[in-house]
């Protein structure tokens, strides 16, 4: 059974040789769409970096435990690293 996650938009974007993983997090009351300029800058300066840019509850009325968000984020980072390793080890 899949684990319940608080994060959405957790598909890792593969780029170039996938030699690095960059995780970008949006600010309080924002979403991942609002950091598209940062995403573009990272893609330009690190063309071989995979990107993980999740959304998480960060609205004014969000009462989610930040520790749970962090735990979910760690799990998605681990999943991205595992998928990258499996893809590169073929």
pLDDT tens-digit readout, 10-61: 999 999 888 899 999 999 999 999 999 999 999 999 999 999 999 999 989 9
Closest residue by Cα to residue 54 from 82, 84, 21, 87: 21
Contacts for 38 with CB less than 8 Å, ≥ 6 apart: 24
Residues 52-73, mean pLDDT to the nearest whole number: 92
Which of the four pLDDT bands, split at 50, 70 and 90, describes residue 4?
A: confident
- Cβ pair 25, 52 in contact under 8 A: no
pLDDT of residue 1: 38
For the question of whether the overall pTM of this predicted structure is more than 0.75, the answer is: yes
- Cβ pair 53, 9 in contact under 8 A: yes
What residues does each domain of the chain span?
1-80
pLDDT of residue 3: 63
Question: Rounded to whole angstroms, how far apart are CA atoms 8 and 72?
Answer: 10
């Amino acid at each position: 059974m899949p684990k319940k996650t608080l994060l959405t938009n957790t598909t890792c974007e593969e780029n170039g040789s996938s030699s690095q993983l960059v995780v970008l997090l949006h600010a309080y009351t924002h979403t991942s769409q609002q950091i598209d300029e940062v995403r573009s800058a990272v893609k330009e300066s690190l063309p071989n970096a995979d990107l993980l840019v999740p959304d998480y509850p960060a609205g004014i009325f969000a009462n989610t435990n930040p520790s749970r968000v962090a735990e979910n984020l760690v799990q998605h980072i681990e999943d991205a690293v595992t998928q990258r390793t499996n893809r590169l080890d073929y």
